[in-house]
Amino acid sequence: MAKIILATGGSRSGKSGYTQNIAESLPGKRAFVATCPAPSEEDPEMLERVVRHQQDRFGADWDTIEEELDLQRVLREYTDVNILLIDCLTLWISNLIHQNPDISEDELTAICRELIQLSKQRGGTVIFVTNEVGCGIVPANSIARKFRDLSGRCNQAIAKGADEVIFFSCGLPLFLKK
């Protein structure tokens, strides 16, 4: 049964670097699961972020799996990978909303429970990275509120099934569940 880790916190709080270090400290084949859609040249800032993430993994024997929507498939098919680092669930949720604007909290929660079940059926370690977006003001429009609400439901479902949950603030980890 895989060990499941959830890392959450605000943007630029240190989640990705910390989880990459965890993954690189573990033996075996590792893969980075990128949920970000490939940025276009019209979005040079996002392109720069992607390149920075790629450079951070350079030389550390990472495979990259690009999957915007079907994380279940990744968990089912990549059984030869000991460590899966899925970064990040909030971009994945954005992709799901774009594909299906009517997705409900119950539907997303069911998908997240399936992700946990599939993770538990694996060996090795599965690390999920997500943003905590619910600490701010109530968004002014319905799609932003939906994104915030779905993110919160996803984070709760993954945290419930995870073995470890780490919250990041100011680059520091706070262990919520260990």
Q: Provide the annotated active-site residues.
A: 53
Strands 125-129 and 3-9 come out as parallel
Tokens of 38: 């490939």
Tokens of 146: 């939906």
Angle between helix 89-99 and helix 105-120 axes, rounded to 10 deg: 130
User: What gap in Å lies between CA 109 and CA 153, rounded to an integer?
Assistant: 6
Closest by CA to 126, choosing from 101, 161, 95, is 161
DSSP secondary structure letters along 78-97: -TT-SEEEEE-HHHHHHHHH
Please report, for residues 55, 78, 81, 84, 112, the alpha-carbon distance to residue 122 in angstroms, rounded to integers and kept in the order given.
28, 9, 9, 10, 16
